[in-house]
């Protein structure tokens, strides 16, 4: 198995912007721990989202910038994306294949959107996916379809990922495998 860690959208928007991640507690600390554990062992790919004309993730805005703790850590590749999936219109797939990587590990935000989409895209492209249950995070949602707590949303996505897509595991177990 040859794996890469994908650190998805750990941007200020989720800390000081419009979309504060609330669950699980300690999500950022675990993201940083997996980045530190991966250093020198497996490639780390940092993904950064932007929306061309949206009120959030405006390129160049302070909320669009990577969280300083993530920005300051080593990485092999920085990818910018404009859609929820990290494979859509990016060089990610080619970069992984050039290096013989067959497994991607998913960490970052939001569990229910960009992390879920990226894991599904990876599996559809023939990669194995590991989904870090405590190094991904989400927030409560309320819209015309209904409402859900952050904990319910996180648990639902993790259960769906585990069913046929990803291996869902805590960051401590993943670090032990490196």
End-to-end Cα, the chain, rounded Å: 11
Q: What is the pLDDT of residues 101-124, one digit of tens each?
A: 999 999 999 999 999 999 999 999
The DSSP bridge pattern shows strands 103-109 and 128-137 to be parallel
Q: What is the pLDDT of residues 120-178, one digit of tens each?
A: 999 999 999 999 999 999 999 999 999 999 999 999 999 999 999 999 999 999 999 99
**pLDDT band at residue 18, thresholds of 50, 70 and 90?**
very high
**pLDDT band at residue 54, thresholds of 50, 70 and 90?**
confident
Q: Which residue has the tokens 């939001």?
A: 110
- pTM attached to this predicted model: 0.97
- Look at residue 57 and give its three-state secondary structure: coil
Residue of 75, 164, 79, 81 lying closest to 119 (CA atoms): 164
Token representation of residue 11? 């941007």
Contact 65, 12 (CB under 8 A): yes
What is the Cα 15 distance to its own chain's centre?
A: 15
Indicate the angle between helix axes 116-124 and 150-164, nearest 10 degrees.
10
């Amino acid at each position: 198995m040859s794996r890469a860690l994908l650190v998805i959208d750990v941007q200020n928007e989720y800390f000081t912007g419009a979309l504060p991640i609330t669950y699980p507690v300690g999500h950022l600390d675990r993201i940083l721990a997996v980045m530190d554990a991966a250093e020198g062992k497996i490639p780390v790919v940092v993904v950064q989202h932007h929306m061309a004309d949206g009120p959030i993730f405006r390129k160049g805005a302070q909320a669009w910038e990577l969280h300083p703790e993530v920005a300051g850590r080593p990485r092999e590749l920085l990818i910018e994306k404009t859609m929820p999936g990290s494979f859509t219109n990016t060089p990610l797939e080619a970069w992984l294949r050039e290096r013989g990587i067959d497994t991607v590990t998913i960490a970052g935000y939001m569990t229910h959107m960009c992390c879920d989409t990226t894991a599904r895209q990876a599996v559809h492209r023939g990669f194995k996916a590991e989904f870090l249950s405590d190094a991904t995070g989400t927030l409560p949602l309320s819209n015309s379809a209904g409402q859900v707590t952050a904990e319910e949303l996180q648990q639902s996505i993790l259960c769906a990922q585990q069913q046929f897509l990803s291996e869902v595991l805590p960051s401590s177990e993943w670090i032990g495998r490196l």
